[in-house]
Amino acid sequence: MYPIPAFVEAGGLITYGFVLDEQWRLVAASIGKILKGAKAADLPIQQPTKFELVIKRRTAKALGVTIPRSVLLRADRVID
């Protein structure tokens, strides 16, 4: 299991992790507040709220792994 989809796109089996675009938006918002004078210590800790499941079928087949249909249906993206 990998943390970001790029690994699955490169041939990995599965990834489950936070959506990078959302995380970068949170970082940018915090930086904007700091640039406007806020103290970093006063900003709340923010955690990702959106996660993504990506599966590569070709890798599963090569490994002899059967991904249950229920998991495939829950995936945000299935790569053939």
Terminal CA-CA length for the chain: 17
Query: How confident is the model at residue 7, as a pLDDT?
Result: 94
What is the reported pLDDT for 24? 93
Q: How far apart are CA 71 and CA 21, in angstroms?
A: 24
Q: Which domain holds residue 48?
A: 5-79
Q: What is the pLDDT of residues 25-71, one digit of tens each?
A: 999 999 999 999 999 999 999 888 999 999 999 999 999 999 999 99
Tell me the pTM. Answer: 0.78
Domain count, the chain: 1
